[in-house]
Structure 1
Amino acid sequence: MQENYNILIRKLDRFIRKYYMSRLFRGVIWFVAVFVFFFLLITAFEYYTWSSPRVRTALFYAYVGLNILILIRLIIMPLFKLFRVGKTMGEEEAASIIGEHFPEVRDKLINTLQLKKLSKENIALELLEASIDQKTKSLHPVPFVRAVDYRKNRKYLKYAIPPLLLLIILLLASPSMITAPSKRLIRHRAEFERPLPFTLHILNDRMEAVQYDDYTLRVEVVGEQMPAGMYLSANTNLIPFRKEASGVFSYTMNKLQHDMHFSIVAEDYSFGPYSIRVLPRPVVTNYEVSLTYPRYTAKKNEVFENTGDFVVPEGSFAEWKVITRDTR
């Protein structure tokens, strides 16, 4: 009699193991789906935003925490239960699940387990054991393990395969979209400077202008991505450049009076600061002419100031002395 019951218990045990194995398979699928989906999500976010260390740190620990929770809940816990570590499914609970798949044996299976419990309490022992033996024999042909179908887990693959395929495609087609933001997320406390899609070159030889003169600033853009427009930023004002040719822009500053401090803005990028030094215009403050006459004239040498209107005899020697300000 006991042997028939032991066979029933072993069949229930195989069902329980298969049940947790199925839960484990499902957990692995969900873990891969969540792991890859959120990995793609945060790497895409970081790829386009170049977020601050504070944001990257929050993203990193949120991602790690989420995956640890899912790993524990969907993989480690079913794995423990599979190896009978901690509280696991009882025989009556297993019988209820089997009964959902085989309704015709549900009541008989649960009743058999309940009768066995009563027999342990020595309640009409012989009668109960005879009833248990009869019921267990009738349950032998029922394949309990068929109540668990691994193939039902296939429906969850639709959540894991698409993000996994997308990750593989990106790694093959454009690995930098994955590797670059991943490195920044791993080193989430470090500062990273966003690389520029183009560079600026000032074409002017000297960043100097004479006071009250016009000055034309010419800039060349070099890179794979060309900006649609360019602006000079000074005193919170944005002034557009004029496009001269492909990649060449210019802006004329009229009648400069003081040093000009500015930056150049193109798309979402700012270059500078730059400065144009304004030099005072040179002026003549005074000049004089020293005249040395030849001996035959018997005239004394003379000095004239601030005039260039004079008549001298042939053979005279004239020396000009010019006094200026702000000459270079």
Structure 2
Amino acid sequence: MEDFNRIREKLQQFIKKYYFNELIKGLLLFMAIGVLYLIFTLFVEYFLWLKPVARSLLFWLFVIVELTLFVGYIIFPIIKIFGLKRGLNEVEASKIIGNHFPEVRDKLLNMLQLSEGMHNSELIVASIEQKSTELQPIPFKHAVDLTKNKKYLKYAVIPFFIWLLVFITGNISIFTDSFSRVVHYNKVYLPPAPFYFAVLNDSLLVVEGQPFILQVETVGNTVPENVKINFLNESYYLENTGMGKFQYSFS
């Protein structure tokens, strides 16, 4: 039964390689889906400036999705490689091998079925030995083609191209600021103002008794229709001089 034992060893080697292949595929898919989902999460927070309740939901949903992907794509194949969880049995493995090597499909399956039902029958033992000898040269591990994982590589590269593009364009704060707000989801953050005022005067020194014209310009994506200034507990409208510029004359 030496040849038969070798066949069983080769089947176990095939099963390990099968799950090693699943691990490689899982790593690539985890990098693709997991990192893309991280980018999606950060973009949602960047554009919406969510409140703490919504941000906490976004955070925990992210954790659940990432853990699910990590366990499914990485942990499960690893524990099956080391036999910590039941994976393919020899019969299931033989069917996969048979799809790759059609000439051995029936022999391999028949040999395993005979081995399950043998009761020291010399005829059955002889039949198993014969089939084992015929199957010995077949490289079962070749039924797993690791190179097929190349098709998943392009998906894993996509999120890293997005990160690289954001970094090159100098907008890395899109990710860093959003990540900080998502992680500290209980903290209240206020979105930045759509514009701010820049004083255009070279000097703010005023000569007593002389009129002074304050000139300001709005910088940002929004130009207000009206601008007020508070002076001596009173509010006054600034004159709109166009192109986002305003002025007020103190006399």
**Pairwise TM-score range, normalised by the shorter structure:** 0.7 to 0.9
2:174 corresponding residue in structure 1: 177
Counterparts of 1:1-328 in structure 2, within 5 Å, are 2-119=1-118, 121-122=119-120, 125-173=121-169, 174-200=171-197, 220-223=216-219, 225=220, 227-231=222-226, 243-249=240-246
Q: Is the 8 A contact 1:21 1:82 kept in 2?
A: yes
Q: Is the 8 A contact 2:32 2:155 kept in 1?
A: yes
Higher relative contact order (CA 8 A, sep 6+): 2
The 3-state SS of whatever aligns with 1:230 is coil
Task: Check 1:243–1:144 CA distance in 2 against 1; reply closer, same or farther (3 A cut).
Answer: same
User: What TM-score comes out, normalization by structure 1 length?
Assistant: 0.64
The one-letter amino acid of 1:199's match is: Y
Task: Check 1:201–1:162 CA distance in 2 against 1; reply closer, same or farther (3 A cut).
Answer: closer
Query: Deviations 1:170-227 (Å, cap 9, x if unpaired)?
Result: 2343211111111111111101121224224899xxxxxxxxxxxxxx883343x253
Aligned residue pairs, count: 227
Q: Distance in 1 between matches of 2:164 and 2:146?
A: 26
Q: Is the 8 A contact 1:226 1:247 kept in 2?
A: no
User: Pairwise CA RMSD of aligned residues?
Assistant: 2.5
Q: Is the 8 A contact 1:36 1:167 kept in 2?
A: no
Larger radius of gyration: 1
Q: Is the 8 A contact 1:99 1:107 kept in 2?
A: yes
**Structure 1 gaps, min length 5:** 204-217, 234-239, 252-328
Task: Check 1:146–1:201 CA distance in 2 against 1; reply closer, same or farther (3 A cut).
Answer: closer
The one-letter amino acid of 1:114's match is: Q
Q: Distance in 2 between matches of 1:192 and 1:54?
A: 12
Shift of 1:103: 1.1
Q: Is the 8 A contact 1:198 1:221 kept in 2?
A: no
Task: Check 1:139–1:228 CA distance in 2 against 1; reply closer, same or farther (3 A cut).
Answer: same
Task: Check 1:8–1:117 CA distance in 2 against 1; reply closer, same or farther (3 A cut).
Answer: same
Query: Deviations 1:269-288 (Å, cap 9, x if unpaired)?
Result: xxxxxxxxxxxxxxxxxxxx
User: What TM-score comes out, normalization by structure 2 length?
Assistant: 0.82
Q: Percent identity?
A: 35
Q: Is the 8 A contact 1:200 1:219 kept in 2?
A: no
The one-letter amino acid of 1:165's match is: F
